[in-house]
Chain A
Amino acid sequence: MERRGFLKAGTAGFASLMAGTGLLSWSPRSQAATISKTYYVTAGTQTMPDGVSVYVKGFSDSAADLNVPATPIICQEGDTLSITVINRLSVTHNLVIGGLKAGDPPLASTGDIAAGGSKTLTYTIPTGKAGSYLFYDNKTSYNVLLGLHGGLAIMPAGKTDELYSGSPKFKENKQLFWIFNDIDPVLNRAVQQGTAIPTNLTPRYFTINGQTSLPPGAVGFDDPTRDAMANPMTKLEGLVGDRTLVRMLNAGMCSHAVHTHANHMEWLTDRGTVRPQVWKKDTLYLRNHLGKIDAIFPFEAPPDAYPPVTHGHFPMHLHDEMSQTAGGGMYMFGAMTEIIYK
Chain B
Amino acid sequence: MGMKGGGGGGGMGSACYVYPGTPATPGRVTPDVTFRRGIYMNGSMTFDDGNSVPIWGFTDLDAGQGQMDGMGGGSFPSPAIRVTEGQIVHTELTVGMMWMHTIHHHGIEPSTENDGVGHLSWDVTGGTYTYQWQPKHAGTYFYHCHTNTPLHAEMGMYGGLIVDPKPTPGDPAGTKRAFYNGPIYDAEAIWVADEIDPAFHSLPWYAGTCGGDVGLNNLNPQYFIITGVDGANSALTHPGVAVTMPLGQTLLARYICAGFHPQKIDFGGLTVSVVASDGRPLPAAWQTQAIEAHSAERYDCIIKPTSRGTWTVTVQFLHWRTGAVMGTARTRINVI
| Chain A stretch 184-217: residues in CB contact (< 8 A) with chain B | 201-204, 206, 215-217
* Best-buried of B17, B133, B151, B282 by chain A (most CB within 10 Å): B17
Docked Cα-Cα span, A341 to B320, in Å, equals 32
Residue of B nearest to A328 (CB): B213
Flag if A285 contacts B262 (CB, 8 Å). yes
Q: What separation, in Å, do the CA atoms of A319 and B5 have in the docked complex?
A: 20
Flag whether B304 is at the interface (Cβ < 8 A). Answer: no
Output the residue of A218, A277, A285, A322 with the most chain B CB within 10 A: A322
Question: Interface with B: A34-42, A73-81, A123-131, A329-337, which one?
Answer: A329-337
Q: Let me know if B217 and A305 touch, CB within 8 A.
A: no
Query: Given the complex of chains A and B, what is the CA–CA distance between A204 and B4 in angstroms?
Result: 26
Contact check, A264 vs B278: say whether CB atoms are below 8 A apart: yes
How far is the CB of A301 from the nearest CB of chain B, in Å? 9
| Residues in chain B near residue A327, CB distance under 8 A | 211-213, 217
A217-B9, A264-B280 are known; give 20 further A-B pairs, CB within 8 A: A255-B323, A259-B295, A264-B109, A279-B277, A282-B107, A304-B109, A304-B133, A304-B135, A311-B1, A312-B112, A319-B260, A320-B295, A322-B150, A327-B213, A328-B216, A329-B207, A329-B208, A330-B211, A331-B216, A338-B120
A307: CB under 8 A from chain B?
yes
Interface residues of B in 183-242 (CB under 8 A from A): 207-219
Interface size of A as a range: 35 or more
A307 to chain B, nearest CB (A): 4
Contacts A281-B278, A282-B278, A329-B213 given: A216-B9 contact, CB under 8 Å?
Answer: yes
Prevailing SS type, chain B contact patch: loop
CB atoms of B295 and A321 under 8 A apart? yes
Query: Measured between C-beta atoms, what is the minimum distance from A256 to chain B in Å?
Result: 7
> Which among B6, B110, B148, B218 is the interface contact of A202 at CB below 8 angstroms?
B218
Beta-carbon contact of B115 and A314 below 8 Å: yes
A313 lies within 8 A of B260 (CB): no
Contact B283 A325 (CB under 8 A): no
Q: Are B261 and A320 in contact (CB under 8 A)?
A: yes
Complex: A217 Cα to B283 Cα, angstroms: 44
Of A278, A281, A315, the residue contacting B297 (CB under 8 A) is A281
A230 CA to B110 CA in the complex, in Å? 22
Distance (Å) between the CB of A324 and the closest chain B CB?
A: 6
Interface centre among B154, B209, B284, by most chain A C-beta atoms within 10 angstroms, is B209
Binding site for A on B (CB under 8 A): 1-10, 16-17, 19, 26-27, 29, 88, 106-112, 114-115, 117, 119-120, 132-137, 148-151, 153-154, 207-219, 260-262, 277-280, 282-284, 292-297, 320-321, 323
Chain B residue nearest to A258 (CB atoms) is: B294
Residue of B nearest to A309 (CB): B111
Which one of B108, B111, B117, B297 contacts A285 once the chains associate, using CB atoms below 8 Å?
A: B297
Give the residues in chain A near B19, CB-CB below 8 Å. 216
Q: Are A203 and B217 in contact (CB under 8 A)?
A: yes
User: Once the chains bind, are A331 and B17 in contact (CB under 8 Å)?
Assistant: yes
Contacts of A206 in B (CB 8 A): 217
Interface string of A241-265 (1 = CB under 8 A from B): 0000000000001111101011110
**A/B pair count, beta carbons within 8 Å:** 211
> Which chain A positions have C-beta within 8 A of B2?
311-313, 340
CB-defined contacts of B1 to chain A, threshold 8 Å: 311
Q: Mark A293-319, 1 if CB is under 8 A from B, else 0.
A: 000000000111111010111110001
In the complex, 6 of the A-B residue pairs with CB atoms within 8 angstroms, ordered by the A residue number, are A215-B5, A277-B283, A281-B280, A283-B297, A288-B321, A329-B213
CA distance A306 to B215 in the complex (A): 39
Determine the chain B residues whose CB is within 8 A of the CB of A304 once the complex forms: 108-110, 133-137
Candidate in B108, B119, B133, B213 with the most chain A CB atoms within 10 angstroms: B119
Whether, in the assembled complex, A172 has its beta carbon less than 8 Å from a beta carbon of chain B, the answer is no
Contacts of A222 in B (CB 8 A): 4
Partner of A314, one of B8, B117, B137: B117
**Any B CB within 8 A of the CB of A280:** yes
B1 to chain A minimum Cβ distance, whole angstroms, is 7
**A158 → chain B, closest Cβ, in Å?**
28
A282 touches B106 (CB 8 A): yes
Does A50 count as interface, using CB distance less than 8 angstroms? yes
The one of B134, B208, B278 in contact with A325, judged by C-beta atoms closer than 8 angstroms, is B208
Cα–Cα distance between A61 and B335 once the two chains are bound (Å): 64
Contact between A322 and B108, CB atoms less than 8 A apart: no
> Is there a chain B Cβ closer than 8 Å to A142's Cβ?
no
